[in-house]
């Protein structure tokens, strides 16, 4: 199955390269639009922005649709999986309308402006970045044959965790889940490996750059410096990762010793021994994505021609250059 998918992906290499090039061109445009959407004197507070002021006036119960869609995502796949897989777009649209319709009726033009603002400044740049990282990560294939021992599994989790902050948690999960599952296919006790994979690769690993996690990218769009999260969260991330890897290694060692079958040798599934990586040229596109995001800061962090003050969205970065 994976070999067939790999062959088809090679057949579509030209389309992938074209899509990546388009996305690389769009990233600085979208992020620049997000960063330079307002020029407000530094002495004025955030209360002058329509969205924060409107958000402060909303009642607490207006957050219920958000809670509803989160509960739907969490519960429907468990209690009604067939309904969810067939109708999840309708469920999402339902919760969106539950909030949007009374919101528009109550606040009219101000509400419409806020919704458009969220789409243009937050949602579209985020989707462009996610699409770019997803495309690049999809072109990287980790093959070979490994034996799912505690040491090998811990190493795979560590590699995926390190990748997550640079190609996104989704991209790192795409790249690393297949070799992890192949390595442990022979094992009877293996569920915990996927659980810790979710903890480390799909969550904590993306906490060190705006490329890794959607909320961090939204913060970046609103003026948080790119490497601020790296400096602020690095000690906490390292502590959490170290604790989880130690716990995982202990659990995996315990279950590994309980395996009824002997561990196979490398190459047992017909693939070459060790690890092979295909599509390393996609790392160049990854550097292009990072460059596009970083250059967008330079173009959007500027001073207002009329007042000489920094734009509100990146006041920190502008101030440091003064």
Residue where the block lists tokens 């462009």? 128
Rounded Cα gap, residues 44 and 34, in angstroms:
19
How many beta carbons lie within 10 A of that of residue 140, not counting itself?
21
pTM beyond cutoff 0.85 = no
CA distances from 310 to 35, 41, 181, 223, 318 (A): 11, 7, 50, 11, 6
Q: List pLDDT tens digits, range 176-219.
A: 998 899 889 888 889 999 999 999 999 999 999 988 887 888 88
Q: What is the structure's pLDDT at 41?
A: 42
Nearest to 58 by CA among 91, 102, 118, 123: 102
Query: Are the C-beta atoms of 229 and 210 separated by less than 8 Å?
Result: yes
> 197 burial class (0-12, 13-18, 19+ CB within 10 angstroms)?
buried
Q: What is the structure's pLDDT at 10?
A: 45
Element at 141 (helix H, strand E): strand 141-145
Average pLDDT, 10 consecutive residues per value, the chain (322 residues): 45 46 47 44 44 74 91 92 92 92 89 86 81 82 80 93 89 89 89 95 92 84 86 94 96 91 60 70 82 65 46 46 44
In Å, how far from its chain's centre is CA 277?
22
Query: Are the C-beta atoms of 294 and 307 separated by less than 8 Å?
Result: no
3-state secondary structure of 140: coil
Instruction: Find the Cα–Cα–Cα–Cα dihedral 86, 214, 167, 131, rounded to 10°.
Output: 50
Rounded to the nearest integer, the mean pLDDT of the chain is: 77
DSSP tag of 273: B
Interacting residues of 73 by C-beta distance below 8 A, sequence separation 6+ = none
Interacting residues of 179 by C-beta distance below 8 A, sequence separation 6+ = 142, 143, 144, 146, 156, 275
């Amino acid at each position: 199955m994976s070999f067939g998918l790999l062959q088809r992906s090679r057949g579509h290499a030209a389309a992938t390269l074209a899509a990546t090039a388009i996305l690389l061109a769009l990233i600085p445009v979208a992020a620049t639009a997000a960063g330079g959407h307002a020029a407000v004197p530094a002495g004025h507070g955030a209360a002058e922005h329509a969205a924060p002021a409107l958000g402060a006036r909303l009642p607490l119960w207006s957050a219920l649709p958000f809670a509803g869609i989160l509960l739907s995502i969490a519960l429907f796949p468990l209690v009604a999986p067939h309904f969810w897989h067939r109708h999840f777009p309708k469920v999402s649209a339902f919760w969106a309308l539950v909030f949007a319709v009374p919101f528009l009726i109550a606040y009219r033009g101000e509400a419409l402006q806020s919704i458009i603002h969220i789409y243009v400044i937050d949602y579209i740049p985020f989707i462009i970045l996610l699409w770019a990282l997803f495309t690049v990560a999809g072109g990287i294939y980790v093959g070979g044959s490994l034996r799912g021992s505690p040491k090998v599994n811990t190493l795979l989790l560590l590699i995926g965790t390190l990748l997550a902050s640079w190609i996104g948690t989704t991209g790192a999960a795409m790249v690393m889940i297949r070799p992890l599952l192949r390595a442990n296919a022979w094992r009877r006790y293996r569920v915990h490996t996927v659980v810790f994979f979710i903890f480390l690769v799909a969550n904590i690993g993306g906490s060190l750059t705006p490329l890794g996690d959607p909320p961090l990218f939204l913060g970046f769009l609103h003026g948080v410096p790119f490497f601020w999260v790296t400096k602020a969260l690095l000690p906490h991330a390292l502590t959490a990762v170290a604790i989880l890897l130690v716990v995982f290694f202990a659990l995996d060692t315990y279950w590994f010793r309980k395996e009824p079958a002997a561990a196979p040798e490398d190459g047992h599934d017909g693939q070459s021994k060790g690890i092979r990586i295909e599509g390393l040229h996609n790392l160049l596109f990854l550097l292009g994505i990072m460059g596009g995001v970083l250059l967008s800061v330079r173009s959007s962090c500027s001073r207002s021609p009329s007042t000489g003050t920094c734009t509100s969205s990146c006041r920190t970065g502008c101030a440091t250059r003064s």
